[in-house]
Structure 1
Amino acid sequence: MRLTLWTAFWVFLADQATKYLVVHALNLMERQAIDVVPPLLNFRMAWNRGVNFGLFGEADMRWVLVAVAVTVSALVLTWVWRGDGGKWMHVSAGLLVGGAIGNVVDRILYGAVADFLNMSCCGIENPYAFNVADIAVFFGALGLVVFPGDGKDGAKRPKRRKT
């Protein structure tokens, strides 16, 4: 459980630090766009009031989304605490929880999630922006599917005997 909480802490810290740096220190709120390594990496200011890709952004769902994120985080932490998962399950849970709480803090402070990373490639222009928390939530959820907590995701398996 300690690994889960430490992972969540560092993900949360990285998310909030990058948001502060880009949104406030680099003044992306006023500049709206900074080309870092175009078109591969650009900073584009986007305030996401909805769910993924801004869906349902026109509805006032701020507190509903905060409640959902906190509830999911609590359920994941309870599952990890009760389970016998290996280190990758714990890391995955920490990624998911740290990212979710990072976006919760944004919704509480700003009323929306601060998204700023924009990546395009190969002639395809991506209109969407995301942040470090979004990346962590994605990989955390994926990790919980791949390493569901049977306790075997780091253990060596016994060799089969030849018959």
Structure 2
Amino acid sequence: MTAGPTPGSGRAEAAGPTGSAEPVGRPAPGPDGPVEADGAIEADGAVEADRAADGATTRRRAASILLGIGLAVLALDFVTKHLALQALEGREPVELLGGLVYLSLTRNSGAAWSIGADHTWIFSLITILVIGWILWTALRLRSVPWAVSLGLVLGGALGNLMDRIFRAPGWFVGHVVDMISVLEPYGRAFPVFNVADSALVCGVCLAVFLELTGRQRDGRRLGRDGRRAAPTVSREQA
């Protein structure tokens, strides 16, 4: 008579191919290692896939914000210039806020203080290069603050470029319409500017601030040692 399993042993054993007893239920080792390693690899792959998807979503969001702000600035600049041409042509400056701001229509062929007035086409070329760089950057952008900054610069650059291309006296040498003068009319205290100029200045100032605080366009931030900090992983991804 053969003896059955000893009561209280807690686990039945089965004979293996060589006749040795092995515990039932233990996962057999695979050709490349224990079965548990496959599960770990699959988990790592899922985390990487989640990170890639999250990165693509962040890039789309940043690009959408950049283009949205750029188009909004362009539209506002176009509307204000159109209204200025309709309401201020041939009129004396309009005083606002007790003389803090004056609305006085001017046309500028150069930059601030009419710098480079005889080389308008150079500003058009520089603006086109800046716009191209911003659009190229938008494809890799993952930072919302940088999207806001570059969106302001893009809208301002496009607003003034439209003037230089389509306004008199000709293609790519057109004069930019300005209408806002502070403290004194006709830019006596400060150059006359427009909405596009304001957006450009705000965008550049924000970009300088982001650089000084270590914020990168890929969404990372420089540490005190000058190295980029590793991207954070959410609990769902971990």
Work out whether the TM-score is over 0.5.
yes
Does the CA contact (< 8 Å) of 1:100 and 1:137 recur in 2? Answer: yes
d(CA) in 1 for partners of 2:125, 2:116: 16
Q: Output aligned runs, 1:135-154, within 5 Å.
A: 135-147=198-210, 148-152=216-220
The yes-or-no answer on 1:65 pairing with 2:123 is: yes
The yes-or-no answer on 1:74 pairing with 2:132 is: yes
**TM-score after normalising by structure 2:** 0.57
Shift of 1:63: 2.4
Deviates more, 1:105-114 or 1:94-103: 105-114
The yes-or-no answer on 1:12 pairing with 2:74 is: yes
Taking a change above 3 Å as real, the CA distance of residues 32 and 63 of structure 1, as seen in their structure-2 partners, is farther
d(CA) in 2 for partners of 1:6, 1:102: 14
- Structure number with higher helix proportion: 1
| Root mean square deviation of aligned Cα | 2.2
Amino acid at match of 2:217: G
Cα deviation digits, residues 110-145 of structure 1 (max 9, x gap):
211111101118xxx625210000010011112222
| Structure possessing the higher radius of gyration over alpha carbons | 2
Shift of 1:152: 4.5
The yes-or-no answer on 1:119 pairing with 2:179 is: no
Amino acid at match of 1:149: R
Shift of 1:17: 0.6
What stretches of structure 1 of length at least 5 have no aligned partner?
159-163
**TM-score after normalising by structure 1:** 0.81
The yes-or-no answer on 1:48 pairing with 2:108 is: yes
What is the percent sequence identity of the aligned residues? 27
d(CA) in 1 for partners of 2:203, 2:110: 20
* 3-state SS, counterpart of residue 178 of structure 2: strand
Aligned length: 147
Shift of 1:48: 1.1
d(CA) in 1 for partners of 2:207, 2:190: 29
d(CA) in 1 for partners of 2:66, 2:205: 15
Does the CA contact (< 8 Å) of 1:46 and 1:116 recur in 2? Answer: yes
Moved over 4 A (4+): none
d(CA) in 2 for partners of 1:36, 1:71: 37
Cα deviation digits, residues 22-77 of structure 1 (max 9, x gap):
222x1x121152223341111112211112221121x1x23221121111011122
d(CA) in 2 for partners of 1:94, 1:127: 25
Does the CA contact (< 8 Å) of 1:77 and 1:93 recur in 2? Answer: no
